[in-house]
Chains A and B, each alone.
Chain A
Amino acid sequence: MEEDLDFKVNPPWPPSRKWYGLVILGIVVLVILFSTFYAVGPEEVGVIKRFGRYVRMTDPGLHVKIPFAETVTRVKVKRIFKEEFGFRTLRPGVKTLYAPEKWEDESLILTGDLNVAVVEWIVQYKIVDPYNYLFKVRDVQKTIRDMAESAVRLVVGDRSVDEVLTVGRMEVATEAQKKLQEILDFYQTGIKIVTLKLKDVNPPDPVKPSFNEVNEARQDRERFINEAWRAYNKVIPKAKGEAEKIIAEAEGYAINRVNRAKGEAERFLALWSEYKKAPEVTRRRLYLETLAKVLPQVGKVYVVDSEQKTILPLLSLEGEK
């Protein structure tokens, strides 16, 4: 302590050999301390090797190991890692920025009907077995990438381009994930695939417009059908109403006709029953009454003697005027 103070107050320069010794000792102690204690972060485990051989695994916290003989490798077991295929995220965020290049080598996939689809997908994984992860496979990340491509292509290869673009998306993802996990387990990578998700699935750019055309055509079809139904609905209920009207009118006619007939018949019968009592007089009366009504409204009335036989020439003359 005192030396320390001395050193600060009046640093002798060059320092004496005693100081060299102390400094070296201090460094050695520090190195030993650093080599003895180690911390494992909350999302990691520590894998301890003694002279290269695996001995144990430690949880998060501060731990002690044999200095120099034991080394620690930290493996982030809680972290979920992500691999992107067919695209790259430049800067994730609220408005994620994607790399403008197209990774067509990765994303162009032959479909089962020998067409081509552009598939972009992601794989999320975590390390579940740090021992296998460190000691069984050398290039785990590369292996995941290679095998993910292989698995997705295998699954897509068994589906039509149509299926991949529409209904098959989920299925492709699940099946590829299963496949990928199988392969990674077989290699003992110590990796668990958390998820494999298809992002954009598109027809290749040159083909895109024609795919859109199909969509449009499908809508056109709906439109045509709707239009036809609209016209149908516009006409048919009206026609039904009109039919009802015609029938009702006919019924009206029928009622009218029958009622009239009945009425006239009644009238005739009533008249007739009286007529029977005095036919001669009634007959004459009716005749005269009618003539009385008719004569005033007739244009001309000629009265000819019953003995006169030659009225015709005279009449025709009159008629010519």
Chain B
Amino acid sequence: MRIEKWVALGVVIIIGLVVLSSALYIVDETQQVVITEFGQPVGKPITRAGLYIKKPFIQKVNYFEKRLLTWDGSPTQIPTGDKKYIWVDTTARWKIVDPLKFLQSVGNERGAHARLDDIIDSATRDRITAYSLYEIVRNSNREFVSTEIFIQKEEEIREVKKGREHISREILKEAAKIVPQYGIELVDVRIKRLNYVEAVREKVYTRMISERKRVAEQYRSEGEGKKAEIEGMREKELQRITSEAYRKAQIIKGEADAEATKIYAQAYSKDPDFYSFLKTLETYEKTLTEKDTLILTTDSEIYRYLKGALPGKKKSE
């Protein structure tokens, strides 16, 4: 008898627990809940965390995330407005703002993802094809700071009218228009990655290489130019220095010559005849050597006594 009592009590407790566990449910901070009764939603969605009670068994708790959720698209190949093929990888953040609508229209997150794939992809495609590549890559008209003197301010100086963030916002706006019907709010869409498709990338590399080669050439030729310039300067300086020295030397010498001439003239002009006499003697002394033959007549001063030592038979003087 005692045993049966215990068993009965046990059964009652177990049933009670089962009922209780089916009637009570916990909503976490991260969750929101829609109660359905045989598939029909009952009451308002519960978005506040806590312990709640429902009709056991006949009511079902449908949990949904309350937090910000991730949507990560797979990279898609899209041609830009200027016909350049690029991989675009977007990522988005969304949340379930109307769990009831969400439940009714897409059911669960996987369903939502499928819709978001379509919506965001097409919005992305739509916006990317509308813009040139540089509009998508760049974000503003910020001027490049360059260390290379030779990087040309090439044709890429095109004005950026929108820029990447703006285009991202356009994608968001376009996609966000469609999603409220699914009880979703699209919070943000961003371009995560952007890459050239393989074939284009090769071409870009080739272009980069040729550009670098050009820059390298320019450096070298600038070096050579500078070198030539310095060499020229050296030559000029050299000529200037030597010629200037020559000029100065000539002036100095000339002045000295003039001075000397003046001195001589002053002195010799006192008696030019005597001077020429002296100078002539000096010249004899200097110029006559043993190769020379000297012919003197007996009239000359030194030999006139050869004919006769007697004076008086003078011819000249």
Interface size on B, residues (CB 8 A): 121
In the complex, the answer to whether A232 meets B230 with C-beta atoms within 8 Å is yes
The 10 closest A-B pairs by CB, nearest first: A221-B223, A254-B256, A243-B245, A250-B249, A261-B260, A265-B267, A224-B223, A228-B230, A217-B216, A51-B51
Is the CB of A100 closer than 8 A to any CB of chain B?
Answer: no
Whether A67 sits at the interface, judged by CB under 8 Å, is: no
**Complex formed: what's the CA distance from A160 to B134 in Å?**
12
A221 and B226 form a contact (CB under 8 A) = yes
B270–A255 CB distance below 8 A: no
A210 touches B208 (CB 8 A): yes
A262 contacts B263, CB within 8 Å?
Answer: yes
**Contacting A246 at CB < 8 Å: which of B26, B187, B249, B293?**
B249
Check if B208 sits within 8 Å of A161, measured CB to CB.
Answer: yes
A137-B67, A225-B226, A286-B281 known; A298 vs B191 contact (CB < 8 Å) = no
Bound-state Cα–Cα, A151 to B79, Å: 23
- Could you list which residues of chain B lie within 8 angstroms of chain A, going by C-beta atoms? 26-31, 48-51, 65-70, 72, 91, 93, 133-134, 137-140, 142, 144-148, 151, 154, 156, 164-165, 187-188, 190-196, 201, 204-205, 207-209, 212-213, 215-220, 222-224, 226-231, 233-234, 237-238, 241-242, 244-246, 248-250, 252-253, 255-257, 259-261, 263-264, 266-268, 270-271, 274-275, 277-278, 281-282, 284-285, 288-299, 301-303, 306-307, 315
Residues of A within 8 A of B145 (CB): 159-160, 163, 167-168
Known: A154-B164, A162-B147. 8 other contacts (CB 8 A): A52-B29, A113-B156, A138-B69, A147-B190, A158-B139, A211-B212, A214-B215, A295-B294
15 contacts between A and B (CB under 8 A): A53-B29, A153-B191, A158-B139, A214-B212, A228-B228, A228-B229, A240-B241, A250-B252, A253-B252, A257-B253, A264-B267, A288-B301, A290-B282, A298-B288, A298-B293
- Which residue of A is nearest B295, CB measured? A302
Q: Are B267 and A52 in contact (CB under 8 A)?
A: no
A87 to B152, CA, bound (A): 33
Interface assignment of A305: CB less than 8 Å from any CB of chain B: yes
Q: Please state if B212 and A207 are interface contacts (CB–CB under 8 Å).
A: yes
Would A264 and B216 count as touching, CB distance under 8 A?
no
Which of A137, A163, A243, A300 is the one whose CB lies under 8 Å from B144?
Answer: A163
Say yes or no: A105 contacts B193, CB within 8 Å.
Answer: yes
* Beta-carbon nearest neighbor of B207 in chain A: A115
Q: Are B70 and A134 in contact (CB under 8 A)?
A: no
Residues of A within 8 A of B293 (CB): 298-302, 315, 319
The answer to whether A253 and B223 have CB atoms under 8 Å apart is no
Q: How distant is A307 from chain B, measured CB to nearest CB, in Å? A: 9
Inter-subunit contact A250/B301 (CB<8 Å): no
Task: Tell whether A236 pairs with B223 under 8 Å between CB atoms, given A134-B29, A157-B138, A203-B208.
Answer: no
Q: A263: nearest residue on chain B (CB-CB)? A: B263
**How many Å lie between the Cα of A235 and that of B246 in the bound state?**
17
Contact partner of B192 (CB less than 8 A), chosen from A153, A187, A262, is A153
Does A200 lie at the interface of the complex (its beta carbon under 8 Å from any beta carbon of B)? no
Chain B residues with CB under 8 Å of A275's CB are 271, 274
